[in-house]
Structure 1
Amino acid sequence: MTTPSITVTYLFDPLCGWCYAAAPALKYLQGVEGIHVALAPTGLFAGAGARPMDAQFAAYAWANDQRIQQLTGQPFTQAYRDRILGAANGRFDSGPATLALTAVAQTAPERELDALHALQHARYVEGRDNADPAVIADVLHALGLTQAAALLTAPDAALLSATEERVAKAQAVLHAVGARSVPQLVVAGQGGGLQWLGGETLLGPHEQLLARLQAAAA
């Protein structure tokens, strides 16, 4: 008997610390037969949501990151604190990473989740600024995603338009289920309606997450 496929929409932002905390759960789902994870970047920290990385915001971010690490075990290194949060004239802007992920979605869609995890690792573990297009392009090259890296380096109107469309669609889903923050999971039920699983589902036992997804899709 064939297991029916389930498409899970993952609402996130590349610079969201809680989305980084959810990475192990996403990797687990990626390996489950019959589960397809569709990435939906919300642009939460891009455009009007971007901001300078000043001392006050850096202190707030580090306190939040330490809470995430304590609760989930996901590492936030001193290199990240020094080079990213402590950078002079730094920017908290997920626009470039969102653009890069769209470039991956267009050229190697099966690798988009890998690219997201690599960008998160670069920032929070290696202390490399994944708001910097040059750093992002280097991460993509290391993954063998040369076409996406080339698109990011010289983005054309089609890539910019596709990114805006993805973000608009993700925000529409976010609003449709009544959520305001990320990460979130949304599953399409058999009747066509959207079933919303809160982001906390991603931080619990993986088997419980899978069971809830399957129940939501039934």
Structure 2
Amino acid sequence: MQSARLKYIFDPLCGWCYASALALEALSEAYPDLLELMPSGLFSDAGARVMTPEWAHHAWSNDQRIEAMTGQPFSAAYQRNILQGPGTRFDSGAMNRALTAIHALDPLLEPLVLRRLQWARYVDGLDTSNAMVVAAECARQVAGLDAIELAGRLEHDAELALQATARINATRDLMRRAGVNGVPVLLLQGGEGEYIVSGAALYGDGAELVSGIARLLAAPSPARAR
């Protein structure tokens, strides 16, 4: 398939996107030059909120389903510090800006940083809605990155904010055109065809997904499907 692209649509705070972390890791290793991360902004700006007991209960119910289905861990520290933390924000804005900054530095680093941020939240129990926490985790993953400087950019750099918003708007335009709503979603685009991958196909170890993508890339033009 000529001019193929793999477009992974996600939100850093989406538990089901965390569920697809192993599949994304496999894709990033198998097809680093084809893969493009596309943040949807689902839980930023108007989608952000303060953590309430009701939302925490909803999140934890989903988290337990994800852990049972995929083995992805959700720690007691996450439950205590994030879900039960008073006044905790549920806001992916700082992560969207950080991932945009990392993308500009090197797109190949972006999946690694996303994985680090997800692990920091769901296992280490760190508040990844906080810009300083996000910057520190990015600096742990990317050699030479200054956490304090990045934290300042996440909070005050208007140009970075505009770039992050532009990425989100481009993702939302793509979702409308492709007729998809939730995340995570993987779109394989190339030639005259487009193949949409969602649901259980993204929640395994990635081996089957990578094999399926390889077959589609070898085909002349994939049929549009879900």
Question: TM-score, normalised to structure 2's length?
Answer: 0.88
Asked if the contact 1:77–1:127 (Cα under 8 Å) also holds between the matched residues in 2, the reply is yes
Aligned to 2:13, which of 11, 15, 18?
15
Do the aligned partners of residues 32 and 5 (structure 1) sit closer, same or farther apart at CA in structure 2, a change above 3 Å counting?
A: farther
Tell me which residue corresponds to 1:74.
Answer: 72
Tell me which residue corresponds to 2:196.
Answer: 196
Tell me which residue corresponds to 2:206.
Answer: 206
- After superposition, residues 25-64 of structure 1 pair within 5 angstroms as 25-32=23-30, 36-64=34-62
Aligned to 1:100, which of 98, 101, 123?
98
Asked if the contact 1:103–1:152 (Cα under 8 Å) also holds between the matched residues in 2, the reply is no
Do the aligned partners of residues 147 and 6 (structure 1) sit closer, same or farther apart at CA in structure 2, a change above 3 Å counting?
A: farther
The SS at the match of 1:31 is helix
The SS at the match of 1:146 is coil
The SS at the match of 2:34 is strand
Do the aligned partners of residues 172 and 5 (structure 1) sit closer, same or farther apart at CA in structure 2, a change above 3 Å counting?
A: closer
Do the aligned partners of residues 39 and 145 (structure 1) sit closer, same or farther apart at CA in structure 2, a change above 3 Å counting?
A: farther
Residue type of the alignment partner of 2:75: T
Residue type of the alignment partner of 1:133: A
Tell me which residue corresponds to 1:161.
Answer: 162
Q: After TM superposition, give the deviation of residue 215 of structure 1 in Å.
A: 4.0
Q: Deviations over 1:111-141 (max 9, x none)?
A: 1111000000000000001110010011011
CA distance in 1, matches of 2:169, 2:175: 10
Asked if the contact 1:18–1:183 (Cα under 8 Å) also holds between the matched residues in 2, the reply is yes
Q: Which has the higher contact order (CA 8 A, sep 6+)?
A: 2
Aligned residues: 215
CA distance in 2, matches of 1:97, 1:207: 28
Q: After TM superposition, give the deviation of residue 35 of structure 1 in Å.
A: 5.7
Residue type of the alignment partner of 1:181: G
The SS at the match of 2:30 is coil
**Please, which runs of 5 or more residues in structure 2 have no aligned partner?**
220-226
Q: CA RMSD in A?
A: 2.1
Moved more, 40-49 or 208-217: 208-217
Q: Deviations over 1:58-97 (max 9, x none)?
A: 0111111001000000000000000000110111111111
CA distance in 1, matches of 2:130, 2:164: 17
Moved more, 81-90 or 170-179: 170-179
Do the aligned partners of residues 37 and 76 (structure 1) sit closer, same or farther apart at CA in structure 2, a change above 3 Å counting?
A: same
Tell me which residue corresponds to 1:177.
Answer: 178
CA distance in 2, matches of 1:109, 1:92: 26
- Identity fraction in percent: 38
**Please, which runs of 5 or more residues in structure 1 have no aligned partner?**
none
